[in-house]
Amino acid sequence: VQLVQSGAEVKKPGESLRISCQGSGYNFANYWITWVRHVPGKGLEWMGKMDPSASYPSYSPSFEGHVTMSADTATSTAYLQWSSLKASDTARYYCARHTDRSSTGWLDPWGQGTLVTVSS
Amino acid sequence: NFVLTQPHSVSESPGKTVTISCTRSSGSIALNYVQWYQQRPGSSPTIVIYDDDQRPSGVPDRFSASVDPSSNSASLTISGLQTEDEADYYCQSYDSSSFVVFGGGTQLSVL
């Protein structure tokens, strides 16, 4: 079971971005994917989770309206996207799989993270 | 919603035992399972304890955890500290909407 994320990105404020998280070694459609933001020097922040089988996202109030989560079961890939980046979006973003099919359980495995840098 | 509060940092010597606490601000700690993750510098988080006190295969038995309803807190204990245990540790639970809640993280120094 593995989650592999897309590579590092450098963007300007106002630009759009989509990063990916591809699962392998299990039935991707059956387990929710969570997204976590990690700002260097700060703690982990939960952004929301996605049911790949229904393309049904559930967002943290702190991130709702600023990011969009989606998934493609045909390619076993989850996506996190921004339509207009801000400098404050600079962080490393992790995807992780919920071990319980009801969207709870512990988070395992985690992707390797995608570093997003937003700077003018 | 509730907050999980952890000490910002702890330090201890190799071979000793350290305990990291995680206190829930409202609602019983026993309402939802607590997980613990280890994040070494430059690495992704990994699970070290799930469902309050269960250790995944591959995690040394030096790692243990418990929940104390009387103090509304969970605790992660690492015995026989090794330099490789130096990392950030996060507790995690769920709220009534099944939203993930992380503690603020504790930096463990082994010196």
Number of helical H runs and strand E runs in chain B: 0, 10
DSSP-assigned beta bridge partners for residue B24: B4
CB within 8 Å: B47 and A60: no
Determine the residue of chain B that is closest to A45 in CA distance: B102
* pLDDT of B20: 98
Give chain B's residues under pLDDT 70: none
Residue A45: its chain B contacts at CB < 8 A? 102
Interface test with A, best of B44, B47, B101 (most A CBs within 10 A): B44
* Whether residue A102 has pLDDT greater than 90: no
Q: Which of A25, A1, A20 is nearest to A9 (CA)?
A: A20
Mean pLDDT of chain A: 96
Of how many residues is chain B composed? Answer: 111
Question: If you search the block for the tokens 């509060």, which residue do you land on?
Answer: B5
CB within 8 Å: B101 and A46: yes
CA torsion, ordered B100, B101, B102, B103, to nearest 10 deg: -160
* pLDDT of A56: 86
- For A3-59, how does the pLDDT look when each residue is reduced to its tens digit (9 = 90+)? 999 999 999 999 999 999 999 999 999 999 999 999 989 999 999 999 999 888 999
A-contacting residues of B 29-58, CB under 8 Å?
A: 32-33, 35, 37, 39, 44-47, 50-51, 56
* pLDDT of A100: 85
CB atoms within 10 A of CB A100: 13
